[in-house]
Amino acid sequence: VHRSECEWFLVSVWLCAPAYHLILEGILILWIIRLLFSKTYKLHETYKLTEKEKEDLIEEWQPEPLVPLASKDCLSLNYDVVTGPPSHKIIINGKECINFASFNFLGLLDNERVKEKALASLKKYGVGTCGPRGFYGTFDVHLELESRLAKFMKTEEAIIYSYGFATIASAIPAYSKRGDIIFVDEAACFSIQKGLQASRSFIKYFKHNDMEDLERLLKEQELEDQKNPRKARVTRKFIVVEGLYMNTADICPLPELVKLKYKYKVRIFLEESLSFGVLGEYGRGVTEHFGVDIDDIDLISANMENAIASIGGFCCGRSFVIDHQRLSGQGYCFSASLPPMLAAAAIEALNIMEEDPDIFAILRKKSEHIHKALQGISGLKLVGEPFAPARHLQLERSTGSRESDMQLLRSIVDQVSPDVHVQYLVQC
């Protein structure tokens, strides 16, 4: 009885509704039914290709050649061949020259003690490690080298890489991800640039060694942060600088950078490939040179191919920072470890550096000597700090085009070549 009453109620409501209401609802229902059953309209339908057209496209497509045809490069097509060890007297293409071109700053490349230790290690371990660090590629020599480097630099921990180029190029992307901000000097070297590219972060270049420019960028960033505090709380900021710049041979102003660090709360990554084993009273690099506390720098990275005359690279700093790279440094986890004989050579080089701190003073004196001697050559200027061991002689005035500059530099090198081998590069 109850149900039939409800039904009677509904029917009565329907009968009482105004006519236009019923007609409108009827039209809407018909429209919905039509839409439900009509064919769906896809954008692709407009230019669907036939099978024949597809085959024609595939036939017609011609790729570019894999490599472009060799143009008449101003670089010689063949490398210079060195016979024998690359020590102070070097034999290039059959001619004996004095070597002013390799990064052998402390002269340890043909040191007998270093060779002895490398040989002893070779007789014990063989040459290769046959595995990455995680899978039986960690030798006790690696652990010893890491702890010696950490002790030498007076930091908590150090981590070794098997290739110098890969060190900073793996370290930067391990910490800085998409959305983070990195402030980098314009004259940063190539491996830093690759690391920046791999990290996918925002890169902001400041003028070389110009602290005002850097401060201006930092202030702009601070204003941005105030507009969006939630985002600012998770955006990490880094400054990447080099101790001694490879491209300009001058030194970074580290004390001002540390002040900026605490003022704007950014972390500093310092790349010390050229300054490790060169600057500072005991060769500890630019932090010792300026007397800056090493804990103020978040990460110091250097390669062992310059002063230590071995192969590979290392990063050192606090355990909080360095330990992260053991699982997320690509060049560490996915690559074979450093051959143990090269690690043993590096340990012995460190021993020599610790026993005899006078060699750093000798190196500086000799660099200053060369600096004075090369001044005053007409048409050429020597850039860089007097105590930097790696320098650039630049043309004072460009002749107008890159090719003619290269020709001029090359003729200078050829003139000098019978006695001395130097390396020429063109700076853009």
* Range 10-29, binding other proteins (CB under 8 A): none
Out of 336, 393, 406, 426, the only residue in the binding site for other proteins (CB under 8 A) is 336
**Cβ-contact 191, 169 below 8 angstroms:** yes
Which among 118, 124, 172 has a CA at the least distance from the CA of 145? 118
Task: Report the C-alpha gap between 212 and 66 in whole angstroms.
Answer: 46
Q: Which residues of 292-305 are buried (b: 16+ CB within 10 A; e: fewer)?
A: bebeebbbbbbbbb
* Range 353-412, binding other proteins (CB under 8 A): none
| Of 207 and 412, CB closest to other proteins | 412
| Of 136 and 282, CB closest to other proteins | 136
Out of 205, 208, 256, 330, the only residue in the binding site for other proteins (CB under 8 A) is 330
Q: What is the length of the chain?
A: 428
Out of 16, 36, 81, 223, the only residue in the binding site for other proteins (CB under 8 A) is 81
232 touching other proteins, by CB under 8 A: yes
* Range 114-133, binding other proteins (CB under 8 A): 114-115, 118-119, 122-131, 133
83 touching other proteins, by CB under 8 A: yes
| Of 103 and 202, CB closest to other proteins | 103
Binding to other proteins by CB under 8 A, coded x per residue (else -) over 284-323, reads -----------x-------x-xx-xxxx------xxxx-x
62 touching other proteins, by CB under 8 A: yes
* Minimal distance, residue 336 CB to other proteins, in Å: 4
162 touching other proteins, by CB under 8 A: yes
Q: Give CA angle at 172 (170, 178), nearest 5°.
A: 115
| Of 25 and 346, CB closest to other proteins | 346
Out of 13, 19, 35, 58, the only residue in the binding site for other proteins (CB under 8 A) is 58
| Of 333 and 352, CB closest to other proteins | 333
- The single-letter code of the amino acid at 364 is R
Task: Report the C-alpha gap between 144 and 138 in whole angstroms.
Answer: 11
| Of 166 and 240, CB closest to other proteins | 166
Task: Report the C-alpha gap between 178 and 155 in whole angstroms.
Answer: 29
234 touching other proteins, by CB under 8 A: yes
Q: For 318-391, where are the E strands, in sequence order? A: 380-383
| Of 375 and 427, CB closest to other proteins | 427
Q: What is the DSSP string of 279-315?
A: SSSSS--HHHHHT--GGGSSEEEEETTSSS-SS-EEE
Q: Do strands 89-92 and 95-99 pair parallel, antiparallel, or not at all (unpaired)?
A: antiparallel
* Minimal distance, residue 212 CB to other proteins, in Å: 23
* Range 182-201, binding other proteins (CB under 8 A): 189-191, 194, 197-198
138 touching other proteins, by CB under 8 A: yes
Question: In the Cβ-directed half-sphere of 239, how many Cα atoms lie within 13 Å?
Answer: 32
Task: Report the C-alpha gap between 313 and 385 in whole angstroms.
Answer: 24
Which among 286, 307, 310, 309 has a CA at the least distance from the CA of 297? 286
220 touching other proteins, by CB under 8 A: no
| Of 108 and 279, CB closest to other proteins | 108
**Cβ-contact 208, 187 below 8 angstroms:** yes
**Cβ-contact 237, 181 below 8 angstroms:** yes
Out of 77, 229, 400, 401, the only residue in the binding site for other proteins (CB under 8 A) is 77
155 touching other proteins, by CB under 8 A: no
Out of 11, 31, 33, 80, the only residue in the binding site for other proteins (CB under 8 A) is 80
Task: Report the C-alpha gap between 300 and 270 in whole angstroms.
Answer: 5
